[in-house]
Amino acid sequence: MGGIFGVVCKEKIRRGVVFEGLRRLLYRGYDGVGVAFLDDEGNIVIRKKPGHLEKVANEVDLFNIPSRIALGHTRYASRGWPTVENTHPLTDCTGKIAVVGDGLIENYEAYKEKLVRKGHSFSSRTDTEVYAHLLEESVFREKKDPLEAIARYMRELRGMYAVAAIIAGKEVFYVAHNGQPLIIGLTHNNECIYLSSDIPSLYGYADEAYILEEGMAAEISIDNIRIINAENMEPISIERLIKKRVKYQVELVGKAGYPHYMLKEIYEIPDSMIKTTYSLMEKYLRLAAMIIYGAKNVYVIGNGTSLHAGMVSSYYFTDLANINVNVVSAAEFPYYALKNVSTGTVIIAISQSGETSDVIKSVKLAKQYGAVIIGVTNVVGSRLSLESNVYLPIGAGPELAVPATKTFVSSLVALALLAGYTGLYTGKLSQTEYVGITEKIRETAKELRKDLQVYDNIAEKISEKLLGWKNMYVSSSGINYPVALEASLKFKEASIIHAEGVQLGELRHGPLVLIRDKYPVIIIKPVEEEALPLYNKVAEYVLSKNGFLITITHDDIGYGEVVKVKPTHKILSPITTIIPLQLIAYHLGVKQGYPVDTPPGLAKAITT
C-alpha cells in the first residue's frame, strides 16, 4: 500500500518536484520512500529507504533527479516489514524493470511460487514485486508488448491494487488500475506529464487531471498516452476519462506557517464550515433528500471519524426529519445489515477521503442488492463519489494530518443540512426553519474564528495537567455521546493515549471502578435537559474518588475544571464541543514529542 507519484518531461525534472509530490501523498503511507529513474545511459537507478519521507529525503536525495522520468512511492507497510528490501520501487531479476504499487494482490503467492520454480529470485516479502518478475517473463523472455503484458496480469492477479512500472531504456510509464486510484496529470504547455494516486498532489504542477477507471491499463510517455481496457484489450481515448481541473494553488496544501497540519486544519474549521454550506448544491441536496424520504430503510455507514459523524447524523435525522436511520460500521455492515438490504434501501456512505476500503466494499455489495447510494466525501472524483448515485461534497479542502479534524466538522455540517432538507419533505421543518439552520451554521463559524485562540490557550494549559497519564475516559450523553467517541479517537491518534469513549450512564456500570488518584475524566455536559441529573450524579462521584474531572459545557455551570463553549443550537453542539477536545489532544501529543500529523502505524485513508 502507499502513494504513487511519477513525472516524465521533455527536459530534466525540476528540483524538488518528486519530493513535493510524495510529501503530499504521505497520508497514504510513511513507512518508507523511494524513487526509480533512468540515467543518461537508460539504466534504472533506485534510491529508497524505510522511514518517514522528511527524515530520509536528504539521505537518499529525493530532490535532485537527473533524469526526464521518475517514478516515486511512499509506503504504508501492509505486507512485509518497513525494511529497505520491502520499500518500493521493487525490481525484477535483471534490474531492468522497476515497479511501485498501492493496495493488495490477493493471489500473488501462487504466482510467486511459479516464478521461483522458473528461477526468479525475490528480494522482498511484498506482493507488488511479483509484477516486476511477471513483466520480466513477458517482456524480456516472451518479447510481449509491455502494455499488453500488464493488462494480461490485471486479468489474472486478483485484488484491489494499482501498479506502475518503468523499463530500462524507455521513458515510459506502464500502469494498471485494478481498484486503487491512478490519476494522469497534463499541463497546458505539454512540458511534463504526471502520474499520481490523487489529484491534490498535482496542485501547482498539472493543469488537468484525468482519472483512470478500474480495469484500465495505460502506457504514458511525453509524446503519447495509450489506454486500453484490460479485459477486452480495446483502446480507450483519454477524452473518455473523467477530467478535473487542478484548481488549487500549491500553498493551499502547505502548513501556512503552522507547526503542524493538525493545528492548521483545526484553525481552518470555521472557513471549512462555511465552504460546506456553499459546496452543497441545492439540486443535489433536494435529490438526496427525496431519495431518503422515499426509502424503505436507511443505513448510515462509515469508519472511524466518519462513523462518529454518522452517529451524530442519527440525532439530526430524528430531530430534523422524524426519520430513524441505522448507523453501522462499514467494516461490520456486510455481516450485520446486508441481508436487510433490498430495492428501497438507501445507504448514506461517509468517507472523507472517499477511498476507505470498508466503505467502498459495503457500497458495492449494497448496490448488488438494489440499494441507492448517497455518498458524503471530501474528495470529488474519489471512488465513493464514482460509486454513488448522488454524492455530496463537503468541500472542506485538503486535509493532510492523519487525525481528521475539519473534515469531521464539515461532515457534520453536510449531514445536518441533508437531514434538514429531508425534514422539508417529512413536514418536520418549514423552509424558513431550514434556511435558519444554514444561517446559524455560518454565524457559528464566524464566532468560532474569534474563539479559536481562546480555546487553544485553554487546551494547552489543560494538556499540561494530563501529561503522564496513559489512560482516560471521555463521556457524554445524547447528541454529544458520539463526540465523546470521536474525542477519544483523537486522544488515541494524536496523544497516543488509551482514551475510552463511554456513554455517561455506562460509566456507572463498571468503568468508574478505575477512577482514583487524579485519573482523568472528560465529560461533555449533555445539552438534553433530561440527561443533566445523570451528569450531576456521575460528576460528583468522579470528584468523590479524587478523579481529575474536566467538563466541556455551553453554560457556566459544571463540575471540575470547566471549559466553556458558546451556547448554540442543539445540532451545532457537537461542532462547538469537539474543537477544544481536538486542541487538547493536539497539544498533549506535541508535548510528548509525538508526530501528531502522522501517528505511527496509521495512514490517512485505509484503502485496502
Please state at what angle helix 573-591 crosses helix 269-279, rounded to 10 degrees: 140
Domains 258-429 and 448-600 fall in the same CATH topology: yes
Grid coordinates standing for 269?
Answer: 474549521
Which of 18-27, 219-228, 315-324 shows the lowest mean pLDDT across its residues? 18-27
* Residue closest to 247 by CA, chosen among 199, 291, 198: 199
Which of 402-416, 470-484, 556-570 shows the lowest mean pLDDT across its residues? 556-570
| 153-165 CB burial, b ≥16 within 10 A, e <16 | bbeebebbbbbbb
What pLDDT shows up at residue 607?
Answer: 65
**Confidence category of residue 1, pLDDT binned at 50, 70, 90:** low
What pLDDT shows up at residue 264?
Answer: 87
Torsion over CA of 400, 402, 407 and 411, rounded to 10 degrees?
Answer: 150
Residue 412 has pLDDT above 70, yes or no: yes
Q: How far apart are CA 23 and CA 494, in angstroms?
A: 20
What pLDDT shows up at residue 258?
Answer: 77
Q: List pLDDT tens digits, range 328-365.
A: 999 999 999 999 999 999 999 999 989 999 999 999 99
Q: List pLDDT tens digits, range 78-114.
A: 667 789 999 999 999 999 999 999 987 878 889 999 9
Residue 381 has pLDDT above 90, yes or no: no
What pLDDT shows up at residue 256?
Answer: 46
Q: List pLDDT tens digits, range 199-210.
A: 878 988 999 999
Q: How far apart are CA 164 and CA 398, in angstroms?
A: 25
What pLDDT shows up at residue 78?
Answer: 62
Please check whether residue 516 is in contact with residue 545, taking contact to mean a CB–CB distance below 8 angstroms.
Answer: yes
Residue 248 has pLDDT above 60, yes or no: no
Q: List pLDDT tens digits, range 115-140.
A: 999 999 999 989 999 999 999 999 99
* Residue closest to 502 by CA, chosen among 534, 530, 470: 534
Q: How far apart are CA 377 and CA 446, in angstroms?
A: 23
Grid coordinates standing for 252?
Answer: 493551499
* Residue closest to 291 by CA, chosen among 191, 390, 151: 390
- CATH homologous superfamily of 2-245 equals Aminohydrolase, N-terminal nucleophile (Ntn) domain (3.60.20.10)
| 479 CB neighbour count, 10 Å cutoff | 25
Cα of 88 vs its chain's centroid, Å:
22
CATH T-level assignment (fold) for domain 448-600: Rossmann fold (3.40.50)
Residue, of 153 and 252, whose pLDDT is higher: 153
Do the strands 225-229 and 326-329 form a parallel or antiparallel pair, or are they unpaired? unpaired
Q: Please tell me the pTM assigned to this model.
A: 0.66
- Can you tell me the mean pLDDT for 595-607? 82
The 8-class DSSP code of residue 408 comes to H
Q: How far apart are CA 389 and CA 367, in angstroms?
A: 10
Residue 216 has pLDDT above 50, yes or no: yes
Q: How far apart are CA 431 and CA 256, in angstroms?
A: 39
CATH architecture of the domain 258-429 equals 3-Layer(aba) Sandwich (3.40)
Q: Which residues contact 49 (CB under 8 A, 6 or more apart)?
A: 32, 33, 34, 56, 59, 60, 84, 87
Residue 249 has pLDDT above 60, yes or no: no
What pLDDT shows up at residue 602?
Answer: 82
What pLDDT shows up at residue 252?
Answer: 47
* Residue closest to 153 by CA, chosen among 104, 60, 217, 234: 217
Q: Which residues contact 47 (CB under 8 A, 6 or more apart)?
A: 34, 35, 36, 60, 61, 62
* Residue closest to 183 by CA, chosen among 245, 99, 134, 103: 245
Cα of 84 vs its chain's centroid, Å:
26
What pLDDT shows up at residue 379?
Answer: 79
Grid coordinates standing for 3?
Answer: 502513494
Residue 389 has pLDDT above 80, yes or no: yes
Query: What does the domain layout of the chain look like in residue ranges?
Result: 2-245, 258-429, 448-600
Sign, Cα dihedral of 409, 410, 411, 416:
positive
Residue 28 has pLDDT above 80, yes or no: no
* Residue closest to 272 by CA, chosen among 399, 380, 391: 399
